[in-house]
Amino acid sequence: MIMFKFKMNPIAKKTNIANFYIIFRSLTQNYVKETVNAHEVEHHSNMKDYWWNNNGPLNALHSFNPLRVSFIINGLTNMKKIETKNIGTRQSLENIKILDVGCGGGVLTEALARLDGHVTGIDPSKELITIANDHSMFLRNKNIKYLNESIEEHVISNPESYDAIVTSEVLEHVSNKYGFLTNCVDCLKPGGSLFITTPNRTMFSWLSVKVIGETFNFIPKGTHEWEKFICPHELQSILEINCKCDTISINGLSYNPFTNRWSWTDSTDISYAIHAVKST
């Protein structure tokens, strides 16, 4: 493998450094077949005790819900997926099949189910799926299903079967982004929407997510590896070139830890949300 990398070098030198970096990353990442990293799963499984604690260490994740749910609903409304009578009601996701990849304890999954979506949540962590399942008891008569499997296992039995796929704050924990995203898109019906939120890989995000966030406990320590973050243009190129998707929108996100509130911004420097549609 080292030899191979050396052989790549002369080619890379002809282009610029940034390009080399992308090629380097994609090459190294392709060697990891699995989209699931054992130590990431273990780290997140350890959060099971306070996952659903509103005021606990994950309160930023809870307060993120209004924004990401409205992002999904607005995206689906724009794609004319939501029936007119359901717009602006509690039934806005009626009859829409949604897959939440990396659902964790089900914070977002339940919100989508409460809006009458047919939601399936998958996560490689057995512990988190268990607490998600336990917690979903509080929803009466809602279509919610949790499976303890990875996306590459799920795609085998569910190709082209979802109207929307949501993977929120997950991509930054995945090494093999290419494999992960192609599997996600394979689960989508043609014309279906893919919603992703993830932090950017910039100096700002390193400062805010790693340094400030983890030092002051806005985010549990060791949750993020900055090196694995992905920039919007990288993500966009994978989606458009490899996955045959069209990017509909990329929106910047920011979080105020003092008011515990998320908001949209023009800058994607810290974190962003992307909406892409699988071409028909």
User: Known binding site: residues?
Assistant: 68, 102, 123, 168-169, 172-173
Minimum gap (Å) between residue 193 Cβ and another protein: 17
110 binds another protein (CB under 8 A): yes
> What whole-number distance in Å separates Cα of residue 72 and Cα of residue 74?
6
> What whole-number distance in Å separates Cα of residue 172 and Cα of residue 194?
16
Q: How many CB atoms are closer than 10 A to CB 144?
A: 22
> What whole-number distance in Å separates Cα of residue 235 and Cα of residue 247?
10
Backbone phi, psi, residue 168, to 5°: -105, 125
204 binds another protein (CB under 8 A): no
55 binds another protein (CB under 8 A): yes
Please work out, in degrees rounded to the nearest 5, the angle formed at the alpha carbon of residue 275 by the alpha carbons of 273 and 279.
155
Figure out which of the listed residues 46, 74, 77, 133 binds another protein, where binding follows CB under 8 A.
133
Find the binding residues for another protein in span 10-39 (CB under 8 A).
none
Figure out which of the listed residues 66, 159, 191, 222 binds another protein, where binding follows CB under 8 A.
66
> What whole-number distance in Å separates Cα of residue 93 and Cα of residue 69?
11
Structure tokens at 58: 């994950």
115 vs 245 by CB, closer to another protein: 115
Minimum gap (Å) between residue 68 Cβ and another protein: 9
The binding site for another protein (CB under 8 A) comprises 52-55, 62-63, 65-67, 69-70, 88-90, 92, 110-115, 126, 130, 133-135, 137-138, 140, 260
